[in-house]
Chain A
Amino acid sequence: MPFGEAIRLALRMLWSQKMKSGFSLVGVFIGVTFLIAVVSIVEGMNRYMTERFAGTFFGVNTFHLRRFPAFSEDVPAETWRLWRRRPRITEDDARAVEAGLTVPVTTAWQSTASATVQYRGRIARDIEITGATETYFEIKNYRIERGRSFTAQEVRAAAPVIVVGNELARRLFDDRDPLGREIKIRDNLYRVIGVVEAQGNLFGISLDKFAVAPATAPVKKFTNPPGLVDAVLIRAASVPEMRLAMEQTEAIMRSRRNLRPNQDNNFALETSEGILDVWGKINRILLAALPGLVSISLVVGGIVIMNIMLMAVAERTREIGIRKALGARRRDIMRQFLVESATLAVVGALIGIATGVLLAQTIASTTPLPASVAPWSILVGVLLGGGVGIAAGLYPASRAARLDPVDAMRHE
């Protein structure tokens, strides 16, 4: 029997027994739904982390010079104590690094603290206030949606101007034009000159609740003690140049701090890779658990399908006998039942894919988790479905193929 014929026959069979078919493909359906949904979410987070988070939050080809890493996991208390005893990064350190690097780079200073922002009786609490140099926006890939960012001149002049995040602007001004309005932070007034394009959120935390003012402006009074910065952001043109810049920065800092060769660095050079490492671990745990969960439901699904197929063979013994009498060879009968069970499983897998995609999109739109359907997971879903169907159909099909036509036709 030609292949297309066998599939048509199988589909007709499935359709004529909708109820039974529906139940029998539940296992495969659940397994594949799960596969697609989890992979989509992991993939979505992956994309988020690599494209948006690492790029925007950190900056492409960028490293930070800090007292200790801002992103780290499982730091022992002992290490933590040592880190707290390290000297802080000074503005002089920053200037020395900027002067000493031979690699072309863009640098920015950054000091951040949390504060309350007010505008005519409106109050926004826990806003991340950053004092920075004018290059900060470029390094962070912040696009200015309205107005402009501050200039080098304004930084030199310590102008009381400020650029606000999207959500902060909405909270303070609703739909009114934020530009030119004066907001108050800790008794100082700042004129809003720009709004940064929305950054979205990460795990439910808004990335748009911030404001950036020149490092020299009055914000410096609360972001850091005089002469200190939280971090120096250094961006190179490429990864190799970034590596070189890191080596040079390390050498400059070690010499400034008079570290002997046997002494460890008492400062940190942090890249987005560090963050991605942490993410990679979470990612691996999620993906490591996935095959187990998926295969359990697929095995269960396979057993169900095998039973359904054994029932089908028993029910259709007479049909098998008739087909054999009319000239069906063993392999024809074998193929008929294999195609039928594979079709059953693939239909289950297809429904699972649709549901999984839908589930991923629902999760993405109702929770902070991002989702992105990975094409390979759809392919894997279909192949797994077909594979389970064929594996589950082998035994029932071979039983059908071996039936004796005379006995089979006598079967009622």
Chain B
Amino acid sequence: MTETLIIRVQGLTREYRLGSETIRALRGVDLTLRHNEYVAIMGPSGSGKSTLMNVLGCLDTPTAGEYWLSGVEVSRMNDDALARVRNREIGFVFQTFNLLPRATALHNVELPLIYGGVSAGERRRRASHALARVGLQDRMHHRPSELSGGQRQRVAIARALVNEPSILLADEPTGNLDSTTSAEIMAVFEHLHGQGQTIIVVTHEADIAARARRVVTLRDGLVHSDQLQAAA
């Protein structure tokens, strides 16, 4: 079991200072994730799910507690080391896609490889392969403004996968998409999960969460419930 453990979080707290007030976004979260799990993190706004997602994505560091990712403690790492972990271990999919508007789909997908120090030829090969995996091989030289919402999100997924990360971290991935396109994107996730990808989806939509195999609900900075479920 332990050898397949990807995430181990213990007593994770995160506090913000806002003037004289201290906001406790996470109050001691415990969570473990194994390889090839498909987890939805739910909770009302203010429950701390965004903060948890930032900490899990190594975009933010916890105030206290431990976070082990792939057997390495990342909770005490400095900025540059975290950048390295984000580059190698984590693939992000955001609600607003977060593509570079002036760059082509191909260049957007190449970005993580550029920061990973991959050579130009290899970069191009891997980026076009990743785009082909999400069915966009014929849209490689389009800019985001020339793509539909669903296509943009698929570019973002290709970008998230191009470095073969340990976890795919999606934050409201269908929040800006219509229901047909949402279903399309969720089908892509389902497919990736089938290929062995570990996926965490942060969402407040029950039907999105229903696609996951496990649902973790946060409330007031603590894990409120943690349930396994059958595939929808």
Contacts and interface: CB of A to CB of B under 8 A. Distances in A.
Interface residues of A, number: 22
Contacts of A243: none
Interface in A310-351: 318-319, 321-332
Nearest to B116: A327
B206 interface: no
Interface string B25-54: 000000000000000000000000000001
Interface string A390-412: 00000000000000011001000
B112 interface: yes
Nearest to B50: A406
Interface string B80-113: 1001101110001010001110100000000110
A331 B81 CA distance: 12
Nearest to B85: A327
Nearest to A319: B100
A3 to B, nearest CB: 12
Contacts of A102: none
B152 to A, nearest CB: 13
A307 to B, nearest CB: 22
B214 interface: no
A374 B87 CA distance: 49
A327 B98 contact: no
A74 interface: no
B72 interface: no
A104 to B, nearest CB: 71
A326 B103 CA distance: 15
Interface string B120-156: 1000000000000000000000000000000000000
Contacts of B88: 327
Contacts of B79: 329-330
Given A1-B114, A406-B60, A325 B98 contact: yes
B59 interface: yes
Interface-central residue, A2, A326, A328, A409, by most chain B CB under 10 Å: A326
Contacts of A329: 79-80, 83-84, 115
Given A332-B115, A406-B59, A325 B92 contact: yes
Contacts of B94: 409
Contacts of B114: 1-2, 5
Nearest to B169: A325
A16 interface: yes
Q: Looking at chain B, what size class is its interface with the partner chain? A: 20 to 34
Nearest to B111: A326
Nearest to A412: B96
Contacts of B54: 406
Contacts of A330: 79-80, 83
B221 interface: no
Contacts, number: 59
B211 interface: no
Interface string A196-213: 000000000000000000
A325 B114 CA distance: 13
A319 to B, nearest CB: 6
Nearest to A328: B115
A282 B176 CA distance: 72
Given A330-B79, A330-B80, A409-B98, A325 B115 contact: no
Given A16-B102, A409-B94, A326 B80 contact: no
Interface in A16-53: 16
B107 to A, nearest CB: 10
A328 B114 CA distance: 9
Contacts of A319: 100
Interface in A51-92: none
Interface-central residue, B54, B59, B87, by most chain A CB under 10 Å: B59
B79 to A, nearest CB: 6
Contacts of A332: 83, 115
Nearest to B96: A409
B57 interface: yes
B84 A325 contact: no
A332 B84 CA distance: 12
A332 B83 CA distance: 10
B111 A323 contact: yes
Given A5-B114, A319-B100, A332-B115, A326 B87 contact: yes
Interface string A129-159: 0000000000000000000000000000000
B153 to A, nearest CB: 14
B115 A1 contact: yes
Contact of B86 (A2, A5, A12, A325): A325
B10 to A, nearest CB: 22
A185 to B, nearest CB: 78
A5 B115 CA distance: 11
A323 B86 contact: no
Contacts of B112: 326-327
A406 B60 CA distance: 7
B59 A327 contact: no
Contacts of B98: 318, 321-322, 325, 409
A5 to B, nearest CB: 7
Contacts of B111: 322-323, 326
Interface-central residue, A12, A323, A325, A330, by most chain B CB under 10 Å: A325
25 contacts: A1-B115, A2-B114, A5-B120, A318-B98, A321-B98, A322-B100, A324-B59, A324-B86, A325-B57, A325-B59, A325-B86, A325-B98, A326-B86, A326-B87, A326-B111, A327-B83, A327-B87, A327-B88, A327-B112, A327-B163, A329-B79, A329-B83, A331-B80, A406-B54, A409-B98
Given A325-B59, A329-B80, 20 more contacts: A1-B114, A16-B102, A319-B100, A322-B100, A322-B111, A323-B115, A325-B98, A326-B86, A326-B87, A326-B159, A327-B86, A327-B88, A327-B115, A327-B163, A329-B83, A330-B83, A332-B83, A406-B60, A409-B94, A409-B98
The 5 closest A-B pairs by CB, nearest first: A327-B87, A327-B115, A329-B83, A329-B80, A326-B112
